[in-house]
Amino acid sequence: MSVLVYVENADGKFKKSTYEVISYAKTVADQLNTHLTAISIGDVSHEDLESLGKYGSAKVLNVSDEQLKTFVNQAYASVIAEAASKEGAKVVVLANSFTGKGLAPRIAVKLQAGLADSAVELPSTDDGKFIVKKTAFSGKAFAFIELTSDVKIIALNPNSYKVVENGSPATVVDFASDSNESDFKTMVKEIVRATDKVSLPEAELVVSAGRGMKGPENWAMIEELADLLGAATACSKPVSDAGWRPHEEHVGQTGIAVSPNLYIAIGISGAIQHLAGVSSSKTIVVINKDPEAPFFKVADYGIVGDAFEIVPKLIEAVKSYKSNS
């Protein structure tokens, strides 16, 4: 019996959500008095694979098969399920990222396993039960679900668990999978990046703006603030519907759900459908000229005032802080 964690990479580099997920999986392994093994698929340097030991995985299975260098949903799920079976893993942990959302249910089917996706806390293992807290109804509620299957899958929401360094370099072992041609019916031939900006679903800082910005011509200050902070930009639905901003920035019930450490909402009213996608942010700052705007009810910090006066002042404050530090 062991715990297996899938460590996702982007262009050969591990993301922050990978370190969160491995730290989380290590704690789950400790809870179950067992060991943690990681599995990496793709082109990652030996040094980076070894470094995973620092986060608690003494062993890393490395799959460097040429066919698997780019992400193939069905094939990756097969490899992870195969590794879980060979390692005797009773719990498989992965990030509830864009990739993880496609992989987790497929792995669950292959292993006949129960799945807790959108997990936000460590499982409770009291009285021999295995109960996982997860977000539900587009982040408007939490659900506690009990996994009763022999093998259990947990997909952890980004920014839900801290990164913990507690180990020494891992042993890296090549893992050759029994790849199946039927897993390669859909292949990625080319990836053309629309932008090289911070990826919104995994961003730690988000600067988001709504209809209060009046028009697309006023977004320069939103982008400047985001650039200064190293934040991703986001927007409300009507803003992307009107074509002021691209659809991939639309946050909420019908858009992307984010869970950053800091969400700055500028000129957004805070309709329930918008809040559904941002309510698991750690700190919410709202800038709105209407003191009755619903967003203030969920804000940690609120500034009542005109965005066109406040945002330039914020930009100056961040610039001056950066030049003095």
Ligand X SMILES: Cc1cc2nc3c(=O)[nH]c(=O)nc-3n(C[C@H](O)[C@H](O)[C@H](O)COP(=O)(O)OP(=O)(O)OC[C@H]3O[C@@H](n4cnc5c(N)ncnc54)[C@H](O)[C@@H]3O)c2cc1C
If the CB atoms of residues 300 and 306 are measured against ligand X, the closer one turns out to be 306
The CB-of-201 to ligand X minimum distance in angstroms stands at 14
Cα 5 to Cα 25: distance, rounded to the nearest angstrom:
6
Nearest CA to 4 among 60, 65, 78, 45? 60
Which residues of this chain interact with ligand X, rule CB under 6 A? 210-212, 236-239, 252-255, 267-269, 271, 273-274, 277, 287-290, 293, 306-308
CA angle, corner 143, sides to 138 and 149, nearest 5?
Answer: 115
Cα 104 to Cα 82: distance, rounded to the nearest angstrom:
14
If the CB atoms of residues 280 and 288 are measured against ligand X, the closer one turns out to be 288
The residues, ordered by sequence, that sit 6+ positions from 222 with a Cβ below 8 Å of its Cβ are 207, 209, 213, 233, 266, 311
The CB-of-19 to ligand X minimum distance in angstroms stands at 29
If the CB atoms of residues 172 and 275 are measured against ligand X, the closer one turns out to be 275
> What residues does 262 pair with on adjacent strands?
205, 283
The CB-of-215 to ligand X minimum distance in angstroms stands at 11
The CB-of-287 to ligand X minimum distance in angstroms stands at 6
If the CB atoms of residues 73 and 273 are measured against ligand X, the closer one turns out to be 273
Q: Count Cβ atoms below 10 Å from residue 221 Cβ, excluding itself.
A: 19
If the CB atoms of residues 152 and 274 are measured against ligand X, the closer one turns out to be 274
The CB-of-250 to ligand X minimum distance in angstroms stands at 6
